[in-house]
């Protein structure tokens, strides 16, 4: 009877069959291995890159619309300037995200550089958002001309 109790409780070492997680282990039925931080960071950076590409395409389309309207458009120069700044910053952020994905998060000697790079990337993304708010505020459609 005592051996049956030990088997039901997970043995003599107090392990309850995987229900209580031990250091570095997950309960059964959830995960068999701990979270791989490199994999997580790579997926996060890939998602950011896809959003960056979507915004890049939107800005290219806006630039085309402004150029088609011509220099007689009221906000022609400010819009060309803002869209150009946004496009340049997006390319810079895209390159930085490539470097972030390539570095190994498990290498503790790289943690400081990765942290700085991620902070700079986040700041640049914020600036891109602000610039795009101004692009939207100025508008890229030609006002309707009353006949």
CA 109 to chain CA centroid, nearest Å: 23
Domain count, the chain: 2
Residue 108 lies in a domain: yes
**Domain identity same for 29 and 58:** no
37-69 helix and 76-102 helix, angle to the nearest 10 degrees: 160
Rounded CA separation 17/37 (Å): 27
pLDDT in tens, 107-147: 788 888 888 888 999 999 999 999 999 998 888 765 555 55
| Mean pLDDT calculated for residue range 10-31 | 50
**Domain identity same for 117 and 128:** yes
Lowest mean pLDDT among 3-7, 21-25, 88-92, 128-132: 3-7
**Domain identity same for 29 and 41:** no
pLDDT in tens, 43-99: 776 777 677 778 888 899 889 988 988 888 888 999 999 999 999 999 999 888 888
| pLDDT above 50: residue 6 | no
Helix locations, the chain, DSSP H: 2-8, 37-69, 76-102, 111-138
H or E stretch at 104: none
**What is the separation, in whole angstroms, between the first and last Cα of the chain?**
97
Q: pTM for the complete prediction? A: 0.63
């Amino acid at each position: 009877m005592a051996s049956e109790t030990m088997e039901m409780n997970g043995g003599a070492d107090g392990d309850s069959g995987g229900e209580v997680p031990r250091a570095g282990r997950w309960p059964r039925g959830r995960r068999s291995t701990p979270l791989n931080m490199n994999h997580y960071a790579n997926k996060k950076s890939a998602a950011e890159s896809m959003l960056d590409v979507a915004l890049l395409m939107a800005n290219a389309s806006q630039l085309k619309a402004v150029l088609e309207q011509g220099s007689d458009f009221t906000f022609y120069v400010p819009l060309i300037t803002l869209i150009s700044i946004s496009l340049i910053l997006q390319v810079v952020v895209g390159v930085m995200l490539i470097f972030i994905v390539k570095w190994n998060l498990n290498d503790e000697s790289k943690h400081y550089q990765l942290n700085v790079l991620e902070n700079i990337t986040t700041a640049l993304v914020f600036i891109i958002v602000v610039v795009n708010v101004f692009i939207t505020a100025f508008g890229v459609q030609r006002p309707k001309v009353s006949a």
